[in-house]
Structure 1
Amino acid sequence: MKNIYKHIFLALVVGLIVGAIDALFGRVLIWITDFRTIHYLWLLPFLPLAGLLITWLYHRFNKESLGGMTLIFETRLDKRKDIPLALIPLVMVGTWITHLFGGSAGREGVAVQIGATISHWLGKKCHLPDNSKILLVTGMAAGFAGLFQTPLAATFFAMEVVIAGYLDVYALLPAILASYVACFTSNFLGLPKFAIDLQSTLSLHSVHVIGSILILGIAFGLTGRLFASVLAKAKTWMKHAFPNPYRRIGLVSIPLAIVLILLFGGRYSGLGTNLITNSFTHQTIYAWDWILKLGLTILTLSIGFQGGEVTPLFSIGASLGVVLGSLLGLDPLLCAALGYAAVFGSATNTLLAPIFIGLEVFGGVNMIPFTLVCIIAYLVNGNHSIYTAQSKVIY
């Protein structure tokens, strides 16, 4: 019982600290995104130099931190004992630089790494039994929740993502407490939450709608699977083709920068929030938006730029949903919402987290379609994940 109280207290502390750091990280990233959008012609040509700077920072101050999410997974699986505290400033600064100069990347990896590193450090200081697991999951949940302000999705993401097919339910209480505290803290400190009030609903009483749900689930599942498998192969190939990390990021980012400039004026740079906004505000979405964002994000991350994958996955799913909704004769906005959640779930090989994303971002009126599409996408994915260190339960 005494340890439960300690876990609850530490969960509150972790939520406050991580929520505050998420607010700082997120607000700076928003400013950077707005600044780059205006001045992209002046910033994108320097993407190769930005890549060299990021690589130098990691190799100069803490090369081990390059492991990123892999360090978190290995710690949870008892394959390592420590996560370097240097990871926090390095991943934050590296991600800011990546986005300032136009790399196509996300942000959730940063938040999850920050939360896990802080909670793991606190757990070691307090010498709690099994702290490396309970507090690590708690910190991951707080990091995700503070950035996206979806505490339920964050809690279940942290509990199910490390070992696919298994839930770290013993961490449920501290994880959900830390998630809500981090969510409220980051919101109080001015970090906005993305949410859409969907007006339309899907009735599952027609063959057309049921068939469309099946098609959407398969398409979103295949898209997440494609992203995860190609990203893993691209990272391996890049390391083999360019063993020197400076040459890898310096040389490959030259054509990357040129392509990002030429393709619709930096449309595919950064998080992809522009595509998400367009998807839900009846603005222009091209049929090729999702595949170009997918390819350029994979290229950006495979050569060593920092960030994450989840927000680009949201944008890929949403823009693909608009296209498929128009083809299937369904509301494109609703299909964009389904894609937003399901492609994320497929690529991360998680099931409950994307369903709760649908609930917390888009409301509960379409929970049955969200659940069905996410289940289908999860099954179609076939155990592929953007997190190569993810363990799988084999029955």
Structure 2
Amino acid sequence: MPIRWDVREHLSLGWFVVRWLLMIAPVAVLIGSSVAFFLWLLAEATQTRWAHPELVFGLPLAGIFIVWCYHSMGSTAGGGNNLVMEQIHQPGAGIPKRMMPLVLFATVITHLFGGSAGREGTAVQMGGSIAQVFSRPFRLSEEDTRILLTCGVAAGFGAVFGTPLAGAIFALEVLAVGKMRYEALIPCLMASVLGDLVCTAWGIGHTQYQIVAPELHIDAAVAHVSLVLAAKVMLASILFGLAGFLFAEITHALSGLFKKYVTRYWLRPVIGAVVVLGISFLLGTRDYLGLGVGSASGDGISIVNAFSGVGVTPWSWWWKLLLTAITLSSGFKGGEVTPLFFVGATLGAALAGVLGVPVDLLAGIGFIAVFAGATNTPLACTLMGVELFGAQYLEYFAIACFLSYLFSGHSSIYLSQQIAAPKGGVFRYRGVDTLKSARDARRFWWHRQSHDE
């Protein structure tokens, strides 16, 4: 049978790659440079706060300034990551240009004065905002606008964590539960890789983590699965998924309570700051403030130290979860992902002794698994584990991320995620369009059940 080759098809595919590379290159360069500037500012803010610990007492005033800026100048920028996702689902008014500078400096101020927050949300919003600027001069169709905005998310995520492959898959996977849109796969990969390369070219480094686990005596490139260890990882992964669920639900619940009972918008961050500082004072440590990657003393509670178990208590994960939820729900700005890394790593370290698993292995697994559960991105988080820790424990990464994703239920830190395929075939969520609708439906079902009883 003769080969039937339509050369026009492959020419068209080649033009697709070239066209998107030409469009994405300037976008990724700007996003990578912006993320590099943001990470530099964030590091300076953290070092300044450690050198001048009295700055934390300015957290209430910093909160007032942040919410005033968003109230007076923010327009729709306050929608944050959910706004970016909504514009990808259905392009409309677009992402305002002011989102980028607002979220950048608001996040830096939050960290300078000790708010417990992350950095991923800032990078994603910066990426979406910069990508939106290019949609008009490129004269893109609605479908191409969706792809470009998704590329902005990929470039921002890949650059901020130094994980370009995970960044590309995250941008595709985070949009809908149970479905990925492959038409943006190549553009997102190019954007994420370029964004990370540009960020690194500015001299910005990323924290290096390592899983050694010498107790397991594994020297293969990819470890063979031990049924006993896999069972222990599965048990821990259920808890990781529940932790992701708890983080998302507490954050959303507190945000609703602040809006309902504190009618003066400027008072919400004041109350949040006082509660965060009060809890820190009662705990006798400031290690839960700020990003949490490292600690001021070097041997305090942090993500880095979780891999050796230094300073970690059985409840370290809970205090970081609670303080971050209060910080973000009261009006401060920043991401949720790095605090989720903290929650997962410290929870894994706490469980390691109970389950008889090497502490660095379970801390690393918890690091990615809680994130997978809270964002419904198990594939991206599995790949992130490989990019951060190596492929040696790939199977365990996958087991943990997939189970955590399942047991986090129909919840997420991003309520604009669409439900393409309900988890576990749960019938009640069929026909529910977004996780926000699912959350509202759960409240209705609960009230109806309580009334029936």
TM-score range, shorter chain: over 0.9
Amino acid at match of 2:159: G
SS in 2 for 1:97: helix
Preserved CA contact (<8 Å) 1:103 1:269: yes
Preserved CA contact (<8 Å) 1:152 1:356: yes
Counterpart in the other structure of 2:29 = 16
The residue correspondences of 1:127-166 to structure 2 (distance < 5 A) are: 127-129=139-141, 130-166=143-179
Determine the C-alpha separation between the residues in 2 that align with 1:351 and 1:73. 18
The residue correspondences of 1:39-188 to structure 2 (distance < 5 A) are: 39-40=52-53, 42-78=54-90, 80-129=92-141, 130-188=143-201
Counterpart in the other structure of 1:224 = 244
Counterpart in the other structure of 2:416 = 389
Shift of 1:169: 1.1
Shift of 1:77: 1.3
Unaligned 5+ runs, structure 2? 1-11, 295-301, 423-453
Counterpart in the other structure of 1:321 = 348
Determine the C-alpha separation between the residues in 2 that align with 1:178 and 1:298. 31
Amino acid at match of 1:96: V
The alignment status of 1:334 with 2:361, answered yes or no, reads: yes
Shift of 1:362: 0.4
How many residue pairs match? The answer is 394
Preserved CA contact (<8 Å) 1:216 1:324: yes
Preserved CA contact (<8 Å) 1:343 1:377: yes
Preserved CA contact (<8 Å) 1:44 1:261: no
1:293 to 299, 302, 320: 320
Counterpart in the other structure of 1:244 = 264
Q: Structure 1 pair 253/205, CA: closer, same or farther in 2 (3 Å)?
A: closer
Shift of 1:195: 2.7
Shift of 1:302: 0.6
Shift of 1:252: 3.2
Counterpart in the other structure of 1:6 = 19
136-145 or 70-79: which moved more? 70-79
Unaligned 5+ runs, structure 1? none
Percent identity over paired residues: 36
Amino acid at match of 1:173: I
SS in 1 for 2:136: helix
Runs of at least 4 residues off by over 6 Å: none
Shift of 1:79: 5.9
Preserved CA contact (<8 Å) 2:209 2:388: yes
What's the CA shift string for 1:237-256, capped at 9, x where partnerless?
11111122112122332232
The alignment status of 1:302 with 2:333, answered yes or no, reads: no
Determine the C-alpha separation between the residues in 1 that align with 2:303 and 2:275. 26
Determine the C-alpha separation between the residues in 2 that align with 1:376 and 1:64. 35
Determine the C-alpha separation between the residues in 2 that align with 1:139 and 1:207. 41
What's the CA shift string for 1:310-337, capped at 9, x where partnerless?
0000011001111111111110000000
SS in 2 for 1:365: helix
Counterpart in the other structure of 1:270 = 290
1:279 to 294, 306, 309: 306
What's the CA shift string for 1:320-365, capped at 9, x where partnerless?
1111111111100000000000000000111111101100000000
Amino acid at match of 2:207: F
2:373 to 346, 352, 369: 346
Determine the C-alpha separation between the residues in 1 that align with 2:263 and 2:416. 21
Determine the C-alpha separation between the residues in 2 that align with 1:259 and 1:229. 20
**Rg larger for:** 2
338-347 or 28-37: which moved more? 28-37
Shift of 1:6: 2.5
SS in 2 for 1:103: coil
Q: Structure 1 pair 79/234, CA: closer, same or farther in 2 (3 Å)?
A: farther
Q: Structure 1 pair 205/308, CA: closer, same or farther in 2 (3 Å)?
A: closer
> Comparing both chains, which one has the higher relative contact order based on Cα–Cα distances under 8 Å and sequence gaps of 6 or more?
1
Preserved CA contact (<8 Å) 1:124 1:131: no
Determine the C-alpha separation between the residues in 1 that align with 2:226 and 2:201. 44
Amino acid at match of 1:354: C
Shift of 1:204: 6.0
Q: TM-score, normalised by structure 2?
A: 0.84
Shift of 1:282: 4.6
Preserved CA contact (<8 Å) 2:348 2:364: yes
Preserved CA contact (<8 Å) 2:17 2:186: no
Preserved CA contact (<8 Å) 1:45 1:258: no
Amino acid at match of 2:361: L
What's the CA shift string for 1:171-207, capped at 9, x where partnerless?
1111111111111111111211223232225766655
Amino acid at match of 2:420: V
Amino acid at match of 2:123: A
What's the CA shift string for 1:152-174, capped at 9, x where partnerless?
11011000101111112111111
Shift of 1:281: 4.2
Determine the C-alpha separation between the residues in 2 that align with 1:205 and 1:385. 30
